[in-house]
């Protein structure tokens, strides 16, 4: 019914009786009803707010720092969002980042091999963790919440225990003087000079991956299948979509993201703290939800989580630049999450009301 | 079994299915010919769903034979069944409500263009094809981008039928397509069943409504408690008989007999 009204301007003159609608209103409303547009406006509002509240944020360097913060969240929010559109969660994504970094670091250091060996072994291990998550979910039919909660706890324990066992410490040894470190740092953790401002390379990866994810989601068969398995697994299977393949590869995509961010952390800071990463998975999920991905699957975008992550990074750094107590960060985030979700809900209801 | 003119597209011989200890279906014979509508009737729990799950490749049969074009087959997934030209249109799980009509139409069989790393959906061609096929089925939609969940139940069924026909289905399995629909909408769906039959498809029409079945059916199989109670061609059975079988005619007769033994019940006045 809504569609009949929406298409009125195209199919004929609007009815004479009844309220007169402006020609642009349906289009504007339709645009605002897109969750990505809603979160874009939200991100814009948060940015303007902090630009006013924290004048130092207006400098290029500060903005680069904000974007860097955004990119480390955003890089993970992307695959997490795709997985969410595909109808599943991954609670192990936060600690999986640390697992991959620990693996690469300890393997290279203990065996005294080129760091690239560690990087590759870590990639294989990460993908295996993702494949295990996905396989468990499709094989048992258990909710992914439970399966990945299990993986989350396992990885958290293994991270600590193995690191202590190998290094006798909770952190790994500094690998910055090892073979191949410089190369790997150039790939995963270098900076690019733009008009005198040092911008971290992760920002470019983030935006490039977002563009790629958008293309895959909207323009490829695989993207079609992601929406389908999240929308209705049974229907998708009945029309010939390879549901299990799609779900398992989505979990592997998340673990690939975890590996990527893990490698960045390792080559940016030279060592890894084994207890970190806990709670990050919820930040990624929150960024995806703020970005308009449906918690129950079947709807969402790749560009929405980009703005979602931007809001997070902006608040995180904005508080610091504004000189406020950073202890308030999480509280601020919570309010923002609820606010974004409520505004999205309200806008969607208003825009789709007839 | 009256039409021997063509070989059956799909044939079940003494087929059955057990889930562990539960024997959901046994001793079922069924043939589907091109250009014929085979109706499968039965009460809830009679084994209709199990039957279509076997034919559509969702479950494998555990007893008897299942032949397509005279060759025994064992399907591992609906993809295998689709490859043989057997397409199922389900009552409730035919479509993804949140996805646009055209994406639903091509789901699982998307048209693509370009070499591999850049292989992408051919959206223009898909929209155009979906629009044309739907119009041929008599469904005109203003906007193929609208989520299919916004269509009415009858329209969704018709989109699903048009989709199956487009993808070269030779055998169409319709699971209770009229169950959730009103009188008018049911008529629309029955019309498409007839249209599909006239295009030379073999149709398996599953329903518990003998009136709907009798309007389009060429052959009627009634399932009861997991096995065939009746298998008759249209010429050998009247709507009254069919209704009687569906309503559990034999059981009713037995009940009537029992009631006759009880004093105080005037069985002469019972139908």
- Residue A170 φ then ψ, to 5°: -90, -10
Instruction: Cite the DSSP H helix spans in A178-220.
Output: 181-188, 201-219
For residues B162 and B134, is the Cβ–Cβ distance under 8 A? yes
User: What chain B residue is nearest to A8 in terms of C-alpha separation?
Assistant: B142
Residues of chain A in contact with residue B94, where contact means CB-CB under 8 angstroms, are 235, 238-239
CB nearest to A3's CB, from B82, B88, B142: B142
Distance from chain centroid for Cα A353: 31
- Predicted local distance difference test score (pLDDT) of residue B91: 64
CB nearest to A228's CB, from B56, B94, B107: B107
Which residues, in sequence order, are bridge partners of residue B15?
A: B28
Residues with Cβ within 8 Å of A41's Cβ and at least 6 positions away in sequence, in order, are A32
- Predicted local distance difference test score (pLDDT) of residue A203: 96
Distance, in Å, from the CA atom of B246 to the CA atom of B230, rounded to the nearest integer, reads 10
User: Minimum mean pLDDT among A199-208, A235-244, A344-353, B59-68: which range?
Assistant: A344-353
The tens digit of pLDDT for each residue in A218-273 reads: 999 999 999 999 988 988 988 889 999 999 999 999 999 999 999 999 999 999 99
Give pTM, 2 decimals.
0.80
Domain boundaries of chain A, sorted by first residue:
26-352
Is the pLDDT at A25 greater than 90? The verdict is no
Q: Do A231 and B93 make contact, defined as CB atoms within 8 angstroms?
A: no
Q: How far is B254 from chain A (nearest CA, A)?
A: 41
CB nearest to A228's CB, from B90, B96, B120: B96
Is the pLDDT at A5 greater than 60? The verdict is no
Asked if A5 is an interface residue toward chain B (Cβ–Cβ < 8 A), one would say: no
For residues A94 and A149, is the Cβ–Cβ distance under 8 A? no
- Predicted local distance difference test score (pLDDT) of residue A350: 65
Asked if A2 is an interface residue toward chain B (Cβ–Cβ < 8 A), one would say: yes
CATH class of A26-352: mainly alpha
- Predicted local distance difference test score (pLDDT) of residue A342: 81
Q: Which residues of chain B have pLDDT under 70?
A: 1-6, 91-94, 248-252, 263-271
Q: What share of chain A is helix, strand, coil (3-state, %, to 5)?
A: 75, 5, 25
Highest mean pLDDT among A35-44, A64-73, A319-328, B190-199: A64-73
For residue B170, give Cα distances in angstroms to A97, B31, B86.
50, 14, 6
DSSP secondary structure string, B60-95? --SEEEEEETTEE---SSHHHHHHTTEEEE-SSSSS
Q: Do A227 and B96 make contact, defined as CB atoms within 8 angstroms?
A: yes
Q: How far is A129 from chain B (nearest CA, A)?
A: 26
Burial class (CB in 10 A: 0-12, 13-18, 19+), A344: buried
* DSSP secondary structure letter of residue B59: S
- Predicted local distance difference test score (pLDDT) of residue A21: 34
User: What chain A residue is nearest to B106 in terms of C-alpha separation?
Assistant: A239
Interface test with B, best of A214, A223, A230, A240 (most B CBs within 10 A): A240
Q: Do A235 and B93 make contact, defined as CB atoms within 8 angstroms?
A: yes
- Predicted local distance difference test score (pLDDT) of residue A8: 34
Q: Which chain B residues touch A if contact means CB-CB below 8 Å?
A: 56, 58, 77-79, 82, 88, 90, 93-99, 103, 106-110, 112, 119-121, 123, 142-143, 146, 150
Distance from chain centroid for Cα A222: 19
Element holding A44 (H helix, E strand): helix A35-53
* DSSP secondary structure letter of residue A15: P
- Predicted local distance difference test score (pLDDT) of residue B6: 66
Please compute the mean of the pLDDT values over residues A157-167 and round it to a whole number. Answer: 94
CB nearest to B121's CB, from A221, A238, A242: A221
For residues A306 and A291, is the Cβ–Cβ distance under 8 A? yes
Interface of A with B in 275-334 (CB under 8 A): 294, 298-299
Residues with Cβ within 8 Å of B111's Cβ and at least 6 positions away in sequence, in order, are B121, B122, B125, B126, B129
The tens digit of pLDDT for each residue in B228-257 reads: 888 888 888 888 888 888 776 666 677 777
Q: How far is B105 from chain A (nearest CA, A)?
A: 10
Q: Do B93 and A240 make contact, defined as CB atoms within 8 angstroms?
A: no
| Tally of CB atoms within 10 A around A128 | 12
Residue percentage of chain A with pLDDT more than 90: 60
| Tally of CB atoms within 10 A around B30 | 22
Highest mean pLDDT among A28-37, A132-141, B51-60, B240-249: A132-141
Please compute the mean of the pLDDT values over residues A156-178 and round it to a whole number. Answer: 92
User: Minimum mean pLDDT among A13-17, A89-93, A201-205, B74-78: which range?
Assistant: A13-17
Residues with Cβ within 8 Å of A323's Cβ and at least 6 positions away in sequence, in order, are A54
- Predicted local distance difference test score (pLDDT) of residue A251: 97
Q: Do B99 and A221 make contact, defined as CB atoms within 8 angstroms?
A: no
Write down how long chain B is. 271
**Greatest extent of chain A over all pairs of C-alpha atoms, in Å:** 81
CA angle centred on B160, ends B230 and B115, rounded to 5°: 130
Q: Do B94 and A235 make contact, defined as CB atoms within 8 angstroms?
A: yes
The tens digit of pLDDT for each residue in A266-290 reads: 999 999 999 999 999 999 999 998 8
Is the pLDDT at A348 greater than 80? The verdict is no
Q: Do B98 and A236 make contact, defined as CB atoms within 8 angstroms?
A: no
Asked if A354 is an interface residue toward chain B (Cβ–Cβ < 8 A), one would say: no
Q: What is the mean pLDDT of chain A?
A: 86
């Amino acid at each position: 019914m809504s569609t009949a009204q929406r298409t009125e301007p195209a199919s004929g003159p609007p009815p004479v009786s009844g309220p007169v609608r402006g020609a642009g209103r349906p289009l504007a409303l339709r645009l605002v009803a897109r969750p990505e547009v809603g979160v874009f406006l939200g991100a814009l509002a948060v940015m303007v707010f902090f630009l006013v509240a924290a004048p130092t944020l207006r400098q290029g360097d500060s903005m680069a720092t904000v974007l860097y913060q955004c990119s480390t969240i955003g890089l993970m929010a992307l695959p997490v969002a795709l997985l969410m559109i595909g109808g599943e969660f991954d609670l192990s994504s936060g600690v999986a980042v640390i697992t991959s970094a620990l693996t690469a670091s300890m393997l290279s250091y203990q065996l005294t091999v080129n760091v690239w060996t560690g990087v590759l072994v870590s990639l294989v291990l990460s993908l295996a963790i993702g494949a295990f998550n996905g396989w468990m979910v499709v094989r048992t039919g258990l909710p992914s919440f439970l399966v990945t909660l299990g993986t989350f706890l396992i990885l958290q324990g293994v991270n600590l225990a193995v690191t202590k066992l190998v290094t006798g410490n909770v952190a790994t040894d500094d690998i910055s003087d090892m073979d191949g470190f410089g190369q790997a740092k150039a790939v995963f953790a270098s900076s690019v000079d733009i008009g005198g401002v040092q911008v971290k390379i992760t920002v470019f990866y983030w935006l490039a991956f977002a563009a790629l994810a958008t293309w895959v989601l909207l323009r490829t068969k695989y993207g079609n299948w992601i929406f389908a398995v999240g929308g209705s697994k049974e229907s998708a299977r009945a029309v010939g979509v390879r549901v299990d393949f799609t779900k398992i590869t989505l979990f592997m995509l998340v673990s690939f993201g975890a590996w990527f961010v893990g490698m960045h952390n390792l080559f940016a800071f030279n060592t890894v703290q084994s207890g970190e990463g806990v709670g990050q998975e919820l930040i990624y999920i929150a960024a995806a939800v703020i970005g308009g991905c449906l918690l129950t699957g079947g709807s969402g975008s790749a560009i929405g989580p980009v703005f979602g992550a931007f809001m997070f990074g902006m608040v995180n750094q904005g508080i610091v630049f504004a000189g406020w107590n950073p202890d308030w960060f999480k509280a601020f985030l919570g309010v923002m999450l609820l606010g974004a979700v409520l505004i999205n809900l309200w806008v969607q209801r208003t825009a789709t009301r007839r | 079994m009256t039409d021997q003119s063509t070989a059956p597209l799909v044939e079940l011989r003494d087929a059955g299915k057990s889930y562990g200890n539960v024997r959901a279906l046994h001793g079922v014979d069924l043939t589907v010919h091109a250009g014929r509508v085979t109706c499968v009737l039965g009460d809830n729990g009679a084994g209709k769903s199990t039957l279509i799950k076997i034919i559509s490749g969702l479950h494998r049969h555990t007893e008897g034979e299942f032949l397509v074009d005279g060759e025994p087959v064992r399907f591992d997934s609906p993809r295998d069944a689709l490859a043989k030209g057997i397409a199922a249109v389900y009552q409730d799980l035919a479509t993804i409500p949140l996805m646009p009509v055209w994406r639903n139409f091509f789901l699982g069989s998307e048209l693509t263009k370009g070499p591999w790393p850049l292989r992408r959906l051919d959206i223009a061609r898909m929209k155009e094809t979906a629009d044309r096929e739907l119009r041929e089925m008599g469904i005109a939609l203003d906007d193929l981008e609208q989520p299919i969940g916004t269509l009415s139940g009858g329209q969704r069924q018709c989109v699903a039928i048009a989709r199956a026909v487009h993808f070269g289905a030779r055998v169409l399995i319709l699971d209770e397509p009229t169950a959730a629909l009103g009188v008018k909408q049911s008529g629309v769906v029955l019309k498409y069943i007839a249209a599909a039959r006239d295009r030379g498809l073999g149709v398996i029409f599953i329903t518990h409504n003998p009136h709907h079945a009798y309007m389009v059916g060429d052959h009627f199989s009634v399932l009861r408690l997991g096995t065939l109670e009746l298998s008759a061609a249209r010429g050998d059975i009247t709507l009254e008989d069919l209704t009687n079988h569906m309503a559990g005619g034999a059981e009713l007769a037995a009940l009537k007999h029992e009631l006759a033994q009880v004093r105080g019940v005037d069985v002469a006045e019972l139908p």
